[in-house]
């Protein structure tokens, strides 16, 4: 049985999973071990200088703003998925494999720049957010610059990857629009929630896996399996993040908890708490407007005490089962089992969080 463990070292947050037989899967920036893929940690380290080089413009101010979040660290989860899919841990990453990982990470970073403007955030990854340091206008422009660099890299990798990236960017925007339109709406449905996170989170995870498969030369059947796995994995990842926003700490998140609640983004645990007769009326009376710190903490406590957390865990298990089913179509057994174990680590971590919330 796998047990999820969250660890902290400075600003470098990591998610690790170990089995009772001490076979590790460690997910963190520049330190990844997946059973059966012993070379992946070294390959992921090669992403860091490539990221910095990809955004280098020659303008000191732009370079500083564009590398701000890169230098603050991160899980590099999307490049991890791309490199794993490309190499299956059986060979060193080629130049195009690395560029595929850089391409998807730049899209992710750009989304963080834009999200922080929307959320009026002041902290990201335990450092000052770009919008707070450089201003909203500059954060938007630099986010656009990162997207432009990602598109340029995708084009260098061929028309299929360029088309995939363009389609993914469209899905990201659609997901974000769905979320923005539902802000402060306590009547938001779970169907609307899942549609939004499929676009804003799962689509890029799926693209990461597929781009890795393309640079690695996977056959069509395996490309579909990798894509389906990435989308299901992305759903599990977002569900876990949404629980963390309710019951996590600033140390866990690298930003203040309860930010989604305060800003009117009602995620699955909140929607389930609203439907819970024990917490729904009191929570509904609070929501529908921007919350101050005290109101936010009251709302977080209500959601944490509701059935919303356990319902979100149940949903994560359903998507983890989909991920495992998709991974069965991956040719290299070690890659398939490693990706499944990575998914299970998130579910186990979410299980631990749920247990703590109900104590």
pLDDT digits (tens, 9 = 90+) for 137-163: 888 988 999 999 999 999 999 999 999
Which one, of 174, 169, 110, lies nearest residue 140 by Cα? 110
In the numeric block, which tokens belong to residue 248? 């996590």
Domain holding 150, by residue range, is 2-358
Note the pLDDT tens digit of each residue in 203-221: 999 999 999 999 999 999 9
Kindly tell me if the per-residue pLDDT of 307 is higher than 50. yes
* Predicted structure pTM score: 0.88
What does the DSSP 8-state code read for residue 158? -
Question: Mind giving me the DSSP string for 91-113?
Answer: SPPPHHHHHHHHHHHHHHHHHHH
Kindly tell me if the per-residue pLDDT of 234 is higher than 60. yes
In the numeric block, which tokens belong to residue 26? 């460690």
Note the pLDDT tens digit of each residue in 13-49: 333 333 333 233 333 333 445 656 777 888 889 999 9
- Domain containing 62 — which CATH number? 1.10.600.10
Residue 9 is inside which H or E element, if any? Answer: strand 2-9
pLDDT at 339: 95
Rounding to the nearest 10 degrees, give the CA dihedral for residues 253, 27, 321, 186.
10
Domains identified in the chain, total number: 1
pLDDT at 212: 98
Percent of the chain surpassing pLDDT 90: 66
pLDDT at 359: 57
As a whole number, mean pLDDT of residues 305-318 equals 96
Kindly tell me if the per-residue pLDDT of 12 is higher than 50. no
Distance CA 296, CA 22 (A): 40
pLDDT at 126: 57
Least confident of 59-63, 132-136, 167-171, 223-227: 132-136
pLDDT at 250: 78
As a whole number, mean pLDDT of residues 291-297 equals 94
Distance CA 251, CA 10 (A): 9
Note the pLDDT tens digit of each residue in 84-107: 999 998 899 999 999 999 999 999
pLDDT at 177: 95
Distance CA 29, CA 235 (A): 21
Averaged pLDDT score across all residues of the chain: 86
Which one, of 212, 224, 177, lies nearest residue 198 by Cα? 177
């Amino acid at each position: 049985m796998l047990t999820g463990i969250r660890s902290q070292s400075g600003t470098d947050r990591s998610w690790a999973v170990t089995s009772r037989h001490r076979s590790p899967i460690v997910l963190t920036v520049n330190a990844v071990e997946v059973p059966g893929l012993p070379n992946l940690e070294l390959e992921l380290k090669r992403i860091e200088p490539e990221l910095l080089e990809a955004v280098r413009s020659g303008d000191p101010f732009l370079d500083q703003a564009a590398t701000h979040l890169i230098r603050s660290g991160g899980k590099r989860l999307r490049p991890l998925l791309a490199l794993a899919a490309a190499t299956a841990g059986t060979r060193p990453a080629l130049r195009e494999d690395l560029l595929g990982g850089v391409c998807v990470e730049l899209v992710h970073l750009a989304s963080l720049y834009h999200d922080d403007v929307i959320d009026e955030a002041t902290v990201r990854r335990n450092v000052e957010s770009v919008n707070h340091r450089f201003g909203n206008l500059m954060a938007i422009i630099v986010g656009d610059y990162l997207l432009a660099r990602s598109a340029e890299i995708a084009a260098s990798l061929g028309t299929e990857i360029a088309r995939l990236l363009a389609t993914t960017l469209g899905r990201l925007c659609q997901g974000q629009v769905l979320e923005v339109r539902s802000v402060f709406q306590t009547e938001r449905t779970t169907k609307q929630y899942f549609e939004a996170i499929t676009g804003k989170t799962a689509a890029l995870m799926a693209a990461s896996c597929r781009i890795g498969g393309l640079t690695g030369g996977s056959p069509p059947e395996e490309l579909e399996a990798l894509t389906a796995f990435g989308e299901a994995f992305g759903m599990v990842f977002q569900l876990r993040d949404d629980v963390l926003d309710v019951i996590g700490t600033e140390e866990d998140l690298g930003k203040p908890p309860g930010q989604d609640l305060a800003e009117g983004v009602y995620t699955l645990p909140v929607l389930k708490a609203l439907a819970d007769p024990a917490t729904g009326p009191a929570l509904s009376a609070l929501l529908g407007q921007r919350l101050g710190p005290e109101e936010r903490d009251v709302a977080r406590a209500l959601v944490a005490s509701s059935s919303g957390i356990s319902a979100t865990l149940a949903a994560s298990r359903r998507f983890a089962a989909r991920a495992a089913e998709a991974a069965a179509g991956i040719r290299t057994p070690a890659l398939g089992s490693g990706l499944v174990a990575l998914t299970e680590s998130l579910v186990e971590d979410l299980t631990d969080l749920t247990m703590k919330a109900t104590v």
